[in-house]
Amino acid sequence: MVDVLKIGLIIAGIIVLIRFKVALSHTLFASALVLGLLFQLSAGDMIDGVLAAALSVDNLKLVLALQFVLLFSALLKENGSMARAIAALSCVLRDARFTVAIIPAVVGLLPVVGGAMLSAPLVGEASDELRLSPERRTFLNFWFRHVWEFTLPTFPAVFLTASISGVPVAELVAVGVPLTLAAILSGAVFGFKGVKSSRHGAAAGSPWRGVAEFVRNLLPFFVVILLTVAFDVHLVYPMAAVTVGVILCNRMPVATVKRLARAHLSLELALLIWGIMVFKEILMRTRAMDHMAADLSAMGIPVIVLIVLVPALIAFITGYTTAFVGLSFPVLAPFIGTGGMEAFYVMLGLASGICAHMLSPMHACLVMTLDYYEAPMGKTYRLLYAPVAALFLAAVGVFAAGSLWFG
């Protein structure tokens, strides 16, 4: 119970600091320090944790990859490729709102950390004519990137949950389909509320010509997706290659590249990523999540409440799908129902975790998109509350339907 109170104190502190508009990177580093002190980590353990996160090759690759994304996007905007690609897609879809929603949804098929940054520049370009606020752009890019988390077996939320719980992937995907549909619907309803349609004339010639023009102008971007998905290459390598390729193929002057680098590379984004990783490393070293899950399960709380509460708490405090799945479902496995309801119990826990994950200030996609669009966190959260609530209610509805069917 003491560990639960400590975690609650950390969450409250994070919310207060965010409320007072303390830089999120500073909030994360401070929270990691307080977390280590509350759980009585030695100074040596804390220093080792900070160094492990800061010097991790994977974390360094991620920071570099995201800086390359920023520069690559600026280069495509500078040479006009991005504008031409969005114009071609807009002529095919004819409504800019569809374009804005489809871009992150397509990029969201790529289950990599930092994927939201691949779509953010495209969404920004596509949404210019809609005159969307920074917080609305942030919401749309962030939300539609995550609509597949309930149904794509390539996502950790699905295959890892299935392997831990013993529920077949096919069953988990089947009960998750209504949630993906609910995510798309709620994102469209709340994300485009008050946004007027921006219609274009029909494309001259075949719509496939517009699609071909879109792909041609963003060919380096699709090369990145191909190498990352088909060949399991880390994002940093194709991003570095296509960035250099765009510079060379367009014979961009060194002065132009330097100007774009100074304007678009972001130290704050690098600090945000390191802040998240340091917090995660310290959190894992405290074993706080293991203790909290065990404490909650030993308190005699009703099973259905545990199914909802444990994944949500772990997801919110860690901001990582694999963390909440890996830490909560082994604890919940003995409580998961039988008689055909197994997939529905797992779906409800998964949905609860993902909903909390979407609201977590530790969620890398959210903090990166906030930083990219320079969006106010408070206003962005106000856009998130209603669709997250709708998504959770949809999960409750699916669970209730399953109970009636198998009851």
Name the β-bridge partners of 87. Answer: none
- Which residues fall within 8 angstroms of residue 117, CB to CB, at 6 or more apart? 66, 69, 70, 368, 369, 372
Question: Residue 333 is encoded by which pair of tokens?
Answer: 């496995």
Q: Please give the single-letter amino acid code of residue 29.
A: F
Residues 13 and 358: their CA atoms lie apart, in Å, by 19
What is the predicted pLDDT for the residue at 105?
86
In a 13 Å sphere around the CA of 139, the CA atoms on its Cβ side amount to 28
Nearest to 67 by CA among 280, 262, 276: 262
- 95-100 long-range Cβ contacts below 8 angstroms, 24+ apart: 95/197, 95/198, 95/199, 95/200, 96/126, 96/127, 96/129, 96/130, 96/198, 96/200, 97/130, 97/192, 97/195, 97/197, 97/198, 99/126, 100/126, 100/127, 100/130, 100/132, 100/140
Residues 369 and 121: their CA atoms lie apart, in Å, by 10
Q: Say what the alpha-carbon torsion angle 397, 400, 404, 405 is, to the nearest 10 degrees.
A: 70
- For the chain, the first-to-last Cα distance in angstroms comes to 34
**Residue 121: pLDDT band with limits 50, 70, 90:** confident
**Residue 241: pLDDT band with limits 50, 70, 90:** very high
Question: Residue 113 is encoded by which pair of tokens?
Answer: 């950390």
Q: In the block, which residue shows the tokens 């860690």?
A: 318
What is the predicted pLDDT for the residue at 217?
86
Nearest to 194 by CA among 147, 142, 130, 145: 130
What is the predicted pLDDT for the residue at 108?
78
Question: Residue 117 is encoded by which pair of tokens?
Answer: 């940054």
SS (H, E, C) 193-238: CCCCCCECCCCCCCHHHHHHHHHHHCHHHHHHHHHHHHCCCCCHHH
Q: In the block, which residue shows the tokens 């109970």?
A: 403
- Which residues fall within 8 angstroms of residue 373, CB to CB, at 6 or more apart? 120, 124, 134, 135, 137, 138, 141
Q: How far is CA 308 from CA 95, 288, 313, in A?
A: 38, 19, 9
**Residue 156: pLDDT band with limits 50, 70, 90:** low
Segment 132-159 shows an average pLDDT of 87
What angle do the packed helices 219-230 and 236-249 form, to 10 degrees? 160
3-state secondary structure of 360: coil
What is the predicted pLDDT for the residue at 33?
93
Q: Please give the single-letter amino acid code of residue 245.
A: G
Segment 92-116 shows an average pLDDT of 78
Instruction: Please give the mean pLDDT across all residues of the chain.
Output: 85
Least confident interval from 66-80, 95-109, 192-206, 270-284: 192-206
What is the predicted pLDDT for the residue at 136?
95
Per-residue pLDDT tens digits for 346-395? 999 999 999 999 999 888 889 889 988 999 999 999 999 999 999 999 99
Checking if the pLDDT of 201 tops 60, the result is no
* DSSP conformational letter for 192: S
What is the predicted pLDDT for the residue at 135?
95
% pLDDT > 70, the chain: 92
**Residue 113: pLDDT band with limits 50, 70, 90:** low
What is the predicted pLDDT for the residue at 190?
95
Per-residue pLDDT tens digits for 348-362? 999 999 999 999 988
Residues 243 and 70: their CA atoms lie apart, in Å, by 10
What is the predicted pLDDT for the residue at 389?
97
**Residue 195: pLDDT band with limits 50, 70, 90:** confident
Residues 118 and 116: their CA atoms lie apart, in Å, by 5
What is the predicted pLDDT for the residue at 211?
84
Nearest to 274 by CA among 24, 7, 15: 24
Segment 136-154 shows an average pLDDT of 89
Checking if the pLDDT of 142 tops 90, the result is yes
**Residue 297: pLDDT band with limits 50, 70, 90:** low
Maximum separation of any 2 CA atoms in the chain, in Å: 70
Report pTM: 0.73
Per-residue pLDDT tens digits for 220-235? 888 887 887 677 788 7
Checking if the pLDDT of 109 tops 80, the result is no
What is the predicted pLDDT for the residue at 49?
92
